[in-house]
Amino acid sequence: MSGPTASRFTRALLAICMALTVFPVWAEAYSFSITPQFERRKLFTIWQPIVDELRRRTGLDLQLVTALSVADFERDLRQGVYDFAYMNPYLVPQVGASPGYVPLIRDILPLRGILVVRKDSPYRSVKELQGKTLAVPSLSALGANLLLRAELDRQQQVVMKPLEARTHASVFLHVINGLAEAGGSVQKALAEQDPAVQDALRVLYTTQDAMSHALAAHPRIPAAARDKVRQALIDMSASESGRWLLAEIPMKQAVPALLEDYRSLQALQLERYLQP
């Protein structure tokens, strides 16, 4: 090949090489899922910029995916569907055993469950809620159901009837609209609601501190990829722009997480509160 034809071929080859430099070909796409604490649109509004920043920092092709409900997310998690997943603390030791998810980071701040009622509700003490309906995002939610109901039962001798509302946002709407006398959630979820929702509710009870949510990786993910994501989140929480993004979760400071951090939850023997 010579002359104009060779020149055109050389230019075309150079253009392809330049394109590959500007737009790298991803080796593999990884799913990145979040427990649906909020409705789908808000979840994407909060997490898509975080995932985009992680893609930039790690060079990994991370694809944000969601489930329609907490129950759907947990089913998929137990089946090992997601490559990376941000999950309820109670699930960490369970899916750490099988299918073997590896915790990467957690928030330095603890998780606190809350019980909310309407601001104009006549209830002033949890004792008055004996036998009443408690809307919860899922029966396996740690702060919003398991820890909350265990403390009400063991410390206050109050037993309530849980009603699964599918998401934290739906819990608040159940209470506001009178579909449940009270709702179980966590402080972080309430803080992310619209001011109108927050103003319509009153926190009647707060649980003891528990370990916060964790981002974990499926064991099929290479250790190098897991390390990149862990370090990127820690680095993000050390920068002003990164802290601004993580505050939307909300997450104060990302710190390394270990499976051992969550095993103490098993000593609380909360299994009976998985039942309605």
Which range among 44-53, 155-164, 184-193 shows the weakest confidence by mean pLDDT? 184-193
Residue 139 near residue 145, CB atoms below 8 Å: yes
Which one, of 58, 25, 27, lies nearest residue 50 by Cα?
Answer: 58
Could you give phi then psi for residue 164, rounded to 5 degrees?
A: -70, 125
The reported pLDDT for the residue numbered 152 is 97
Residue 57 near residue 51, CB atoms below 8 Å: no
Does the pLDDT value for residue 238 go beyond 50?
A: yes
Condensed to tens digits (0 to 9), the pLDDT of residues 78-122 reads 999 999 999 999 999 999 999 999 999 999 999 999 999 999 999
Q: How confident is the model at residue 28 (pLDDT cuts 50, 70, 90)?
A: confident
Does the pLDDT value for residue 129 go beyond 80?
A: yes
Q: What is the pTM of this model?
A: 0.81
**What sign for the dihedral angle of Cα 153, 158, 161, 166?**
negative
Q: Kindly list the distances between the CA atom of residue 229 and the CA atoms of 78, 242, 253, in Å, as whole numbers in the listed order.
A: 21, 14, 15
C-alpha–C-alpha distance, residues 117 and 68, integer Å = 25
Condensed to tens digits (0 to 9), the pLDDT of residues 144-178 reads 999 999 999 999 999 999 999 988 999 999 999 99
C-alpha–C-alpha distance, residues 26 and 24, integer Å = 6
Q: How far is CA 42 from the centre of its chain?
A: 13
Q: Domain residues of the chain, as ranges?
A: 29-108+212-274, 111-210
Locus of tokens 């593999």: 28
Locus of tokens 């604490």: 37
What's the token pair of residue 216?
């974990």
C-alpha–C-alpha distance, residues 187 and 185, integer Å = 7
CATH number belonging to the domain at 29-108+212-274, selected among 1.10.3470.10, 3.40.190.10, 1.20.140.10, 3.30.1960.10: 3.40.190.10
Secondary structure class of 167 (helix, strand, coil): coil
14 by Cβ neighbours in 10 Å (0-12 / 13-18 / 19+) ranks as exposed
Torsion of Cα atoms, 158 then 161 then 166 then 168, to 10°: -30
C-alpha–C-alpha distance, residues 28 and 61, integer Å = 7
End-to-end Cα distance, the chain: 77
Judge whether 29-108+212-274 and 111-210 match in fold: yes
CATH 3.40.190.10 fits 111-210, yes or no: yes
